[in-house]
Amino acid sequence: MTASELRAGLSLAGVFGLRMLGLFLILPVFAVHARTLEGGSNLMLVGIALGAYGLAQAILQIPFGMASDRWGRKPVIIVGLIVFALGSLLAAFAGTIWTAIAGRLLQGAGAISSAVIALTADLTRERHRTKAMAMIGAMIGFSFALSLVVAPPLYRWIGMGGLFGATAGLALLSILILRAFVPEAPRRVRTVQEGARRLLGECLRDRQLMSLNLGIFVLHMTQMAMFVVLPPRLISAGLALPDHWKVYLPVVLASFVLMVPFILFADRRNRPKPVLIGMVGLLALVEAAFGATGNRLVILAALMVAFFSAFNVLEALLPSLVSRVAPAQARGTAIGVYNTMQTLGLFVGGLLGGAVAGRYGPGAVYGLCAAFAALWLAIATGMKALAASQVNDLADLTFSIAAGVELAGLREALERVHGVRDVDVSEQERVARLKVVSSDWDEGRVRKLVTGGV
């Protein structure tokens, strides 16, 4: 990676991680705190307060992604972070469960995930994109692990209002990092035909994109459904609730170490599909093993390491593949659809996990997760060649556009050239960035178009 790519990856991972840390700090303590709120004795309302964030995210991920395609990544991210901070402040002063729900909804309305991932893709070359996505995934995992450790003592020290206030402060800190350290993405030339609806339609009709979107839905549905029943099981294994971090922290750290060789293999060998299939298969086996084993803590911890390893690899690999498959001009929209499916998976997983566990018992939840993972495995195995499987014969090229060349319509003309797979025209820099088939593209035609030759 170049210094610019490394800076972009690390700083955007920091933005994502600080925001997620603010969210994760609430989760270990809110259900207890809710009992002190007016109306907080209603467990359904407490559940709505916890899930309201994901619901708002699911509704607004696509609009935020489309907005970032139209008006630029950074402005949309900044607006989202401000909205998130306002929601945190509203929740900080909540005296009733309904105000807390409103605050959580407003937090979720700052749906910046698609814009952040799209900006990461804009600022990194394709062969290094998985590493940049892995930085974000690792930061999210680290934020989750850190929150499990620090949330209870912070709650005793500054209370729930202080925690929500801290989340607002972390959002504002993210804005400073974004402005100070993240490079600017190039502006793109658009034509009248490139409307938001057309871009969304392209993404929804692409079978590869929708297969990847189904994958992230299943991944997060499985995660949320499993964690409905896993914490009580750890208690049954003899680990008190305040001590759960003693398992979670080493498990997450070990999974970070184990994910590295798989990410490097997918990145350096340009073979993401075998890694994808292997990790989905591991996910299915782990869920089946959870349902078949007893409550011995050592065995549960080992299975958790396997689960988090598969989860972290897939969490890094899937958005990288989406960014490769999606057209450059619709990347924000495509990732918006992807993140919508992700948050819907969290919402549906919580609902299904609770319903199935209540009616059929915890073992049925693991069976349900294993079945969905097996379905995903069948779909992933049957997918045609992923975009990443063609990278060996693709090249990223940049051409300066001559002063006399009209920019309007240039992208469409370049897209029609034989061997050109993707085009991004920067109005600000007057350059055209192309992805071409190295062994079979019409270089002469491309040079004529960008230089104004006949």
- Report the alpha-carbon distance of residue 13 to residue 134 in Å, rounded: 9
Whole-angstrom distance, CA of residue 276 vs CA of residue 386: 11
Tokens of 170: 């972390």
The pLDDT score that the predictor gives to residue 191 is: 40
CATH placement of domain 393-451:
3.30.70.100
Segment holding 426, helix H or strand E = strand 420-426
Question: Do residues 275 and 313 make contact, with C-beta atoms less than 8 angstroms apart?
Answer: yes
Class of domain 195-384: mainly alpha
CATH code for residues 1-183: 1.20.1250.20
The model scores a pTM over 0.75:
no
Q: Given this model, what pLDDT does residue 290 score?
A: 92
User: What is the reported pLDDT for 394?
Assistant: 63
- C-alpha–C-alpha distance, residues 398 and 424, integer Å: 9
* Domain locations in the chain as residue ranges: 1-183, 195-384, 393-451
* Contact present, 336 and 66 (Cβ < 8 Å): yes
Model pLDDT, residue 391: 47
- Check residue 184 and report its DSSP letter: P
What pLDDT shows up at residue 81? 93
What the block records as the tokens of 82 is 């401000």
Same fold, 1-183 and 195-384: yes
Q: Return d(Cα 452, Cα 417) in angstroms, integer.
A: 15
Which CA distances in Å does 250 have to 17, 141, 257, 301?
A: 19, 12, 11, 9
Render each residue's pLDDT in the chain as its tens digit; 454 residues.
677 778 878 888 888 888 777 777 777 777 667 778 888 777 667 767 777 777 788 788 778 877 887 788 889 999 999 999 999 999 999 989 899 889 988 988 888 877 887 788 778 776 666 677 778 777 776 777 777 778 778 887 888 899 899 889 988 998 998 888 887 766 554 443 345 556 666 666 677 788 888 998 999 888 877 877 787 788 788 887 677 778 878 887 888 888 888 877 776 656 778 888 999 999 999 999 998 888 889 999 999 899 989 988 888 788 778 767 776 556 666 777 787 888 788 777 777 777 787 788 888 989 999 999 999 999 888 776 554 434 445 676 888 888 888 888 888 888 888 888 778 787 777 888 887 877 678 888 898 998 887 5
With contact defined as beta carbons under 8 Å apart, do 64 and 114 qualify? yes
pLDDT per position as a tens digit, 183-202: 776 655 444 334 555 666 66
Query: pLDDT at position 382, please?
Result: 77
Q: Is the dihedral of CA 101, 106, 109, 110 positive or negative?
A: negative
Residue 190 pLDDT: 44
Residue 10 is predicted with a pLDDT of 83
CA–CA gap between residue 296 and residue 198 (Å, rounded): 53
